[in-house]
Homo-oligomer: A and B are copies of this chain.
Amino acid sequence: MSTPRAAAPDLGGGAAEPEPVSVRGRELGSSTQPSHRLLAYSDALLSVIATVMILPVAHTKIHPDQKLGESVQQLLLAKIAVYLMTFLIVTVAWAAHVRLFQVIEHIDDVLALLNLVSLVRHFSLMASFPEVPFGIFLFSVCAVVIGLIQAVIVAYGFYHPHLLNQQIQVSENQNFYKRHILKIILRGPALCFLAAIFSFFFIPLSYVLLGLVIIFPHLTRFVTWCKTKIVGQRDEEEEHHSLETFTFYLSEPLSKERVEAFSDGVYAIVATLLILDICEDNVPDPREVEEKFHGSLLEALSEYGPNYLAYFGSFVTIGLLWFVHHSLFLYVTKATRLMGLLNILSLAFIGGLPLAYQLTSEFAEKSHNEIEAIQISCVITFFASIFQFAIWTTALLHERETLQPFAGYGGKEHAFMFAKLALYPCVSLGAFFLTCLLSEFSTAIFHVMQIVIPFAFLALRIFVRISSTVIKSMMSLSRWKVVLLEEEEACLSPTETLS
Interface residues of A (CB under 8 A from B): 1-5, 7-19, 21, 26, 30-31, 33-41, 44-45, 48-49, 52, 55-56, 59, 101-102, 105, 109-110, 112-113, 116-117, 119-120, 122, 124-125, 128-129, 132, 134-135, 165-167, 243-245, 252-258, 260, 264-265, 267-269, 271-272, 275-276, 278-280, 283, 286, 289, 297-298, 301, 311-312, 315-316, 319-320, 322-323, 326-327, 329-330, 333-334, 401, 404-407, 413, 454, 457-458, 461
Contacts of A120 in B (CB 8 A): 312, 315-316, 319
Report if A14-B271 is in contact (Cβ < 8 Å); known contacts: A326-B38, A404-B21: no
CB pairs A–B below 8 angstroms (17 shown)? A2-B10, A4-B10, A12-B166, A12-B167, A13-B167, A13-B243, A14-B252, A15-B244, A30-B406, A41-B268, A44-B264, A48-B268, A52-B279, A56-B279, A59-B280, A109-B327, A124-B283
Task: Report the bound CA distance from A461 to B166 in whole Å.
Answer: 27
Q: Which residue of B lies closest to A336 (CB)?
A: B14
The answer on a CB contact under 8 Å between A297 and B255 is: no
Q: How far is the CB of A171 from chain B (nearest CB, A)?
A: 11
Contacts of A278 in B (CB 8 A): 122, 124
Contacts of A38 in B (CB 8 A): 326
Report if A286-B18 is in contact (Cβ < 8 Å); known contacts: A255-B11, A275-B48, A276-B276: no
Contacts of A267 in B (CB 8 A): 41
Q: How far is the CB of A393 from chain B (nearest CB, A)?
A: 19
The answer on a CB contact under 8 Å between A37 and B260 is: yes
- Determine which residue in A13, A49, A252 has the highest number of CB atoms from chain B within 10 A of its CB, and name it: A13
Task: Report the bound CA distance from A267 to B122 in whole Å.
Answer: 17
The answer on a CB contact under 8 Å between A244 and B319 is: no
Report if A4-B13 is in contact (Cβ < 8 Å); known contacts: A41-B268, A316-B120: no
The answer on a CB contact under 8 Å between B283 and A134 is: no
Task: Report the bound CA distance from A289 to B135 in whole Å.
Answer: 13
Residue from B13, B244, B272, B315 within 8 A of A245 (CB atoms): B13
Closest 3 CB pairs of A and B: A14-B253, A4-B8, A2-B12
Chain copies in the assembled complex: 2
The answer on a CB contact under 8 Å between A1 and B5 is: no
Task: Report the bound CA distance from A318 to B289 in whole Å.
Answer: 36
Report if A458-B110 is in contact (Cβ < 8 Å); known contacts: A37-B264, A45-B268, A298-B134: yes
Residue from B5, B117, B283 within 8 A of A9 (CB atoms): B5
Q: Which residue of B lies closest to A55 (CB)?
A: B279
The answer on a CB contact under 8 Å between A135 and B19 is: no
Task: Report the bound CA distance from A200 to B110 in whole Å.
Answer: 56
Task: Report the bound CA distance from A458 to B113 in whole Å.
Answer: 8
Q: Which residue of B lies closest to A119 (CB)?
A: B319
Report if A2-B30 is in contact (Cβ < 8 Å); known contacts: A11-B105, A113-B454, A135-B297: no
The answer on a CB contact under 8 Å between B14 and A255 is: yes
Residue from B19, B116, B245, B457 within 8 A of A256 (CB atoms): B19
Task: Report the bound CA distance from A167 to B14 in whole Å.
Answer: 11
The answer on a CB contact under 8 Å between B48 and A16 is: no
Task: Report the bound CA distance from A62 to B231 in whole Å.
Answer: 71
Task: Report the bound CA distance from A298 to B110 in whole Å.
Answer: 34
Q: How far is the CB of A165 from chain B (nearest CB, A)?
A: 6
